[in-house]
Amino acid sequence: MTDWAEIAGRIAAATGCRFTARDRREVRGGCINRAVHLCDGQRSYFVKLNRRDAVAMFEAESEGLTAIRASNSVRAPAPVCHGVAADEAYLVLEFVHFGGAGPDSERRLGAQLAAMHQSTAEAFGWRRDNTIGSTLQVNQWESNWCDFLAKHRLGFQLALAERNNPSRRLQDTGLRLSEKVRVLLEGHRPMPSLLHGDLWSGNAAYDRSGSPVIFDPAVYYGDREADLAMTELFGGFGPDFYAAYNAAAPVASGYPVRRDLYNLYHVLNHLNLFGGGYERQAQQLMERLLAEVG
């Protein structure tokens, strides 16, 4: 059972204001965690709960949100505290009151994401690993984007898939594709940009003033086109978003092929998490990419 008194005490300690967990409402819509809207009549918090061993995942999420906020580009919920209470891991965030998109909201999201991508690092990776869905995401620093993508993104998921026993065909195609990553990225020299890392439409919304908010990130420094690619994987981002992004920071030529390569990572992750039809999608993506390089 969740120890709400303990969590309320830790919120009070973190904020320096008395807080009682008077009102609690379950929030639906998450994929991984239980979520609760916690309120004392005045102040509201968003609390994620999971098994004790999820505390590292929550710590990484908190640091990711802090990194996005530090870029001063797009709104992300402020982390309040995290830890373990009564054998349960918790993450407390600022509660965001969501509203609908205004006429200008999608355009602002595109422009603000482009601004976030202007935050860059010296190398590709991040100071810690995090998770993508519930899968480990390795963020070991690499000076070369191609090495980073081949090892820590595609190679990692292909190795995981192998352990999950997909068809021989998928494994063979994965192997052939791994040898072509360098060719597919030939001549492409991206900067290591701060990425949300898991930017599907379920992780972006608008607050009551119509301002964009992004949350539930899997932050690392990578090719900014990887964030853009993911927005296209499951849809939900409109033409104003892409027009504003491209006006601020146009994608380089050859983007459609890289989009498929970057999205393969997420499709493989879905295959590893959920199986089913994702094997066919991964197979088709890999064959399409291999056809590009002959």
Stretch that binds ligand ADP, among 91-99, 108-116, 143-151, 272-280 (CB under 6 A): 91-99
Residues 6+ apart with CB under 8 A from 87: 52
CB-closest chain residue to ligand ADP: 30
Of 46 and 156, the one with the shorter C-beta distance to ligand ADP is 46
Instruction: Write the single-letter amino acid at 251.
Output: V
Helix (H, G, I), strand (E, B) or coil at 283: helix
The count of chain residues that interact with ligand ADP, using the rule CB under 6 A, is: 17
Q: Kindly state whether residue 161 participates in binding ligand ADP, applying the rule CB under 6 A.
A: no
Is 198 considered catalytic here?
A: yes
Residues 6+ apart with CB under 8 A from 71: 115, 116, 118, 119, 194
Q: Kindly state whether residue 47 participates in binding ligand ADP, applying the rule CB under 6 A.
A: no
Cα gap 265→261, rounded to integer Å = 7
Query: Going residue by residue from 211 to 230, which x/- string records binding to ligand ADP, judged by CB under 6 A?
Result: ----xx--------------
Stretch that binds ligand ADP, among 26-34, 137-145, 169-177, 222-230 (CB under 6 A): 26-34
Q: Which residues pair with 51 in a beta bridge?
A: 88
Q: Kindly state whether residue 99 participates in binding ligand ADP, applying the rule CB under 6 A.
A: no
Helix (H, G, I), strand (E, B) or coil at 103: coil
Of 64 and 110, the one with the shorter C-beta distance to ligand ADP is 64
Whole-number minimum distance, CB 136 to ligand ADP, in Å? 15
Nearest to 226 by CA among 193, 250, 259, 192: 259
Q: Kindly state whether residue 100 participates in binding ligand ADP, applying the rule CB under 6 A.
A: no
Of positions 67, 96, 150, 244, contacts ligand ADP by CB under 6 A: 96
Stretch that binds ligand ADP, among 87-95, 159-167, 175-183, 249-257 (CB under 6 A): 87-95
Whole-number minimum distance, CB 292 to ligand ADP, in Å? 33
* Per-residue tokens: 63: 């640091």
Stretch that binds ligand ADP, among 31-39, 167-175, 188-196, 267-275 (CB under 6 A): 31-39
Whether 288 and 259 have beta carbons less than 8 Å apart is answered as no
Q: Kindly state whether residue 31 participates in binding ligand ADP, applying the rule CB under 6 A.
A: yes
Q: Kindly state whether residue 79 participates in binding ligand ADP, applying the rule CB under 6 A.
A: no
Of positions 16, 29, 41, 294, contacts ligand ADP by CB under 6 A: 29
In terms of C-beta density within 10 A (0-12 exposed, 13-18 middle, 19 or more buried), how is residue 100 classed? exposed
Residues 6+ apart with CB under 8 A from 195: 117, 219, 220, 221, 222, 224, 226, 227
Whole-number minimum distance, CB 34 to ligand ADP, in Å? 8
Whether 188 and 181 have beta carbons less than 8 Å apart is answered as no
CA atoms within 13 A on the CB side of 218: 21
Of 81 and 93, the one with the shorter C-beta distance to ligand ADP is 93
Percent helix, strand and coil across the chain, each to the nearest 5: 45, 20, 35
**Residue positions annotated with a catalytic role:** 198
Residues that bind ligand ADP (CB under 6 A): 27, 29-33, 35, 46, 77, 93-96, 202-203, 215-216
